Structure 1
Amino acid sequence: MDKDDHDAAYKCMFSYPRAVEDLLRDFVGDEWVEKVDFSSLERINGSFIDDKRRRRITDVIWKVRLADQDLYICLILEFQSKTDPTMALRVGCYVLNLYLDLYKNPKQYKLTDSSKLPPVLPIVMYNGAPRWSAPLEVDEMIDVGPGRLPDFRPHMRYMLLDQGTYQEQDLMGLENVVADIFRLENAENPEVWRSVLRKLLRYLAGPEHDGLRNAIKAWIINILIPAKFPQFKWPSAQLEEAGDLQGVEAMLKMNLDLWGQQYVQEGLEKGLEQGQANTVHRQLLRKFGPLPDWVEKQLSDATSEQWEEWGDQVLSASSIGEMFKQPEDQSAFPTFPQ
């Protein structure tokens, strides 16, 4: 999957007010969310970020009225294979640049004569496989130092949404675009996709959601399906006919049997391989006793073909050395009677 394509697809989905509203309502969780006037959501151009830094960050900025003041929401989307230890610094620079731009261009941002700048909520959305482990606060990255030096460390925190930490049972009851996007990306069973799509079609049925439905459809077809089922080639004619999420749901229904068979077959193959491995491992232990660490290492790295080969050899082998390659730093293999 191309990272730039994934970035663009997510950025497109979060360019619609409904997605941002659902994000704040069910994933932020603070009491002040109830005071937000969601009808005032306005997309802001992040022109304060230069092109070099923009290539390293996918941003979506919104302004919304919170009681009697503006609130700026910075969505920072991260699609990479590992945690970024510099994220707190990156977010800090990003937010400070936004504040500088607000201060320099009050008319552009329709600021009042108030002497204080508006609050900003930076949210980092991460969908990598390892759980996020980087600091959430800038001052956590800075040595404390003696005396009063700790008082002068900068304090800036971001909110983290680590997609992989959300469980299906926590999300399935929500009528929420963000929750259903997470469910689609986390699901391994195609039947879950159909369930989620039917749900999305129900609560995004109005014409005001046409753009968001099309953005989700494009993400599913161009990003999600190739990532989840790389072995399955969706016919181009079907892609052209999928005009909306309704068409995607229909194609899923049409191909569900094939995908389901592949899903079940993959599970059966994994189960058979694991069963074969367990059997051969037990036979080795019974015949040769406790196995050296270097043998266990070869077993843990084995392919299904190797397990099958060892299964044939274990009955006739008189020593570990007949079955496994001896590392150079190991002593001679003991010979066991047949």
Structure 2
Amino acid sequence: MPRHDHAYRNLFGHPSMVADLLRGVIRQDWIAQLDLSTLERVNGEHVAGLHQRRSSDMVWRVKECDKHGYAYLLLEFQSRSDTHMALRVLTYLALLYEDIKRQGKLLPRGRLPAALPIVLYNGVPRWRAARQVADLVEPVQGLQGYTPSLRYLLIDQGQFLAEGGLPPDNLATLLFRLEHARSEDELREALQRLIGRLHEPALEDLQRAFVAWLRDVLLPERAPDVSIPTVTTLQELEAMIVQDRIDWSLRWKQQGLEKGLQEGRKEGESLMLRQLLVRRFGALPEQIDQRLAQASTDELEAWALNVLDARTLDEVFQHGQLTS
């Protein structure tokens, strides 16, 4: 499991973090119907066909206020855009419902509980993938009514921050600000607010999760040449950043800028090439989408040139560049 995913599981494994995400970031009217004090993490691993295990990143269950019903939250953590994210979410939700049915946890009259799939994205370029399954299906006249229509809720951290309006001391907001800090000063200001939020003894586990994420994941990514000492509290992290102010700032800004430009260019070229391939050859097999996602910038540029002369989809990928 990548360090980022493991760290996010620890952070969002705390009910206070999930409650703040719902109240402060999503902020939709239906949330008022939930009793957030009943948030309970449940097993996100499901058994698919042929006994293959499929797991969503995290699943939470919460009761409705003054009712016997409950709802589920499926959390998926992404650091890059995934073309078929909607299909993955549909699979996870279907397997979750099968588990609920198998365990005899259906609501009265045999109804399935409501569920909200959430994709939490922390990448620099904006999310580009389709947000509902129907957008991944080639349309056929007369079959539109049979196409799955599941939609997931996308939380693109950078976009939410750019739009503004997030509560400043909300735990999820502070995570987003730390993740997308463009300088040491922005990081330190968010860290100071986080220290103020996590002073309660009941939040000690969450504070340790934030320390581990900052020390082992975020700071090494932002400043790879800076030696990160072993620290155990947020206060020690803040002191360490202040002591290395000048050296830290230069590395932080340079790496953040280069990473954003490189990722944005690659994702843009991959999306454009996919659109050209679909227009020329129709719906693409899953292995082609995977190949596009894993390709280098040079490969994407070469394949884009091949589209002009290729007679089949296979010919696009046979050589770095087709000859006349």
Q: TM-score, normalised by structure 2?
A: 0.71
Match of residue 73 from structure 2: 73
CA 1:258/1:183 → structure 2, altered by over 3 Å: closer, same or farther? Answer: same
Query: Which whole-Å CA distance do the structure 2 matches of 1:195 and 1:151 have between them?
Result: 51
Deviates more, 1:189-198 or 1:207-216: 189-198
Residue type at the aligned position of 1:128? G
1:213 is aligned, of 201, 204, 207, to 207
Q: What residue ranges of structure 2 are gaps of 5+ in the alignment?
A: 259-324
Query: Which whole-Å CA distance do the structure 1 matches of 2:31 and 2:166 have between them?
Result: 22
Percentage of identical aligned residues: 33
Q: TM-score, normalised by structure 1?
A: 0.69
Question: Size of the alignment, in residue pairs?
Answer: 252
Cα distance, 1:133 vs. partner? 1.4
Match of residue 98 from structure 1: 96
- Pick the structure with greater CA Rg: 1
CA 1:169/1:197 → structure 2, altered by over 3 Å: closer, same or farther? Answer: farther
CA 1:89/1:206 → structure 2, altered by over 3 Å: closer, same or farther? Answer: same
CA deviation string 1:79-117 (max 9, x = no partner): 23xx211111110011011001101102xx5x5444211
Match of residue 115 from structure 1: 110
CA deviation string 1:136-182 (max 9, x = no partner): 111122233223x1111111110011122133682675221111111
CA 1:263/1:10 → structure 2, altered by over 3 Å: closer, same or farther? Answer: closer
Query: Which whole-Å CA distance do the structure 2 matches of 1:52 and 1:22 have between them?
Result: 34
Match of residue 230 from structure 1: 224
Question: In 1, are the aligned partners of 2:70 and 2:114 still within 8 Å (CA)?
Answer: yes
Cα distance, 1:188 vs. partner? 1.9
Q: Once superposed, what is the RMSD of the aligned Cα atoms?
A: 2.4
Query: Which whole-Å CA distance do the structure 1 matches of 2:203 and 2:146 have between them?
Result: 47
Match of residue 151 from structure 2: 157
CA deviation string 1:161-213 (max 9, x = no partner): 11221336826752211111111111121111111111111121101100111
Match of residue 277 from structure 1: none
Match of residue 14 from structure 2: 16
Q: In structure 2, the residue corresponding to 1:143 is in which secondary structure?
A: coil
Match of residue 132 from structure 1: 127
Question: In 1, are the aligned partners of 2:121 and 2:156 still within 8 Å (CA)?
Answer: yes
Question: In 1, are the aligned partners of 2:56 and 2:92 still within 8 Å (CA)?
Answer: no
1:142 aligns with 2:150: no
CA deviation string 1:7-63 (max 9, x = no partner): 101111000001100111122221011221111000101131569665xx6511100
Question: In 1, are the aligned partners of 2:56 and 2:74 still within 8 Å (CA)?
Answer: no
Residue type at the aligned position of 1:197? L
Question: In 2, are the aligned partners of 1:7 and 1:58 still within 8 Å (CA)?
Answer: no
Match of residue 255 from structure 1: 244
Cα distance, 1:260 vs. partner? 3.7
Match of residue 189 from structure 2: 195
Residue type at the aligned position of 1:100? E
